[in-house]
Amino acid sequence: MKVLGIMGSPRIGGNSDILLGHALAGAKEAGAEVEIVILDRKRIAGCKDCMKCNKMGVCAIKDDMAEIQKKILDAYAIIHSTPVYFWTMTAQMKAYLDRWCVFFDADWRWQKVYYPKMRGKRIGLITVCGDTNIHTADPIVHSFKSTADMTKMNWLGAVMTAAAAKGEIVNNADALRQAFELGKKAATP
Ligand SMILES: Cc1cc2nc3c(=O)[nH]c(=O)nc-3n(C[C@H](O)[C@H](O)[C@H](O)COP(=O)(O)O)c2cc1C
């Protein structure tokens, strides 16, 4: 069983990274193998809405998203972690999420070829905002939860936290515990 962590912040060692690390530690404790993808180190272009994927489930853009797509298919659960940038997710995370189009047909249903692996797959989210009001990240939660609801994925929930300076989240034991628990839940059948 593998739990895949998708890191959406370019700040390695920053708050999203630390929280995702705790989530994956929780998943490990529950017996999962874990892997992390740092989106900022990948080449992921924006979706072009060319609709070529609608027929075959193969994206026309040839970049690193193909290898990430395979990891998503093989994962038991996926946990995303992103800071708030201008009231939404980072550009890296948005480019990645838009490329999920490859999984769907023209009616936004899973491609037949992906349905057995994607339906019911577990998906969770961690957000960090510089603002003290964690609801600054509501649009990100809306985006991921709506994707999960539309496609009948298994929504694990969101850990929403606030921290501004790099690594400051280490002082927030409650947020670290919540992230750990999210990972544990992701890996507990
Ligand atoms: C380009 C940019 C835009 C940001 N926009 C917001 C924002 O709209 N709201 C907010 O609360 N914090 C905002 N922040 C602050 C980050 O969310 C905050 O510093 C967070 O802890 C960064 O997480 P990281 O360490 O995982 O990169 C912004 C930071 C950057 C660099």
Number of structural domains found in the chain = 1
Query: Is the shortest distance between the CB of 42 and ligand 1 below 6 Å?
Result: no
Residue 50 maps to which CATH number?
A: 3.40.50.360
Query: Is the shortest distance between the CB of 86 and ligand 1 below 6 Å?
Result: yes
CB proximity list for 166: less than 8 A, separation 6 or greater:
11, 13, 14, 15
pLDDT tens per residue, the chain (189 residues)? 999 999 999 999 999 999 999 999 999 999 999 999 999 999 999 999 999 998 889 999 999 999 999 999 999 999 999 999 999 999 999 999 999 999 999 999 999 999 999 999 999 999 999 999 999 999 999 999 999 999 999 999 999 999 999 999 999 999 999 999 999 999 999
β-strand 33-38 against 122-129: which pairing, if any?
unpaired
Q: Using CA positions, which residue lies closest to atom 16 of ligand 1?
A: 130
pLDDT value for 55: 82
- What range does the domain containing 41 cover? 2-186
Probe target for ligand 1 pocket from 16, 17, 80, 84, with the most ligand atoms within 8 Å of CB: 84
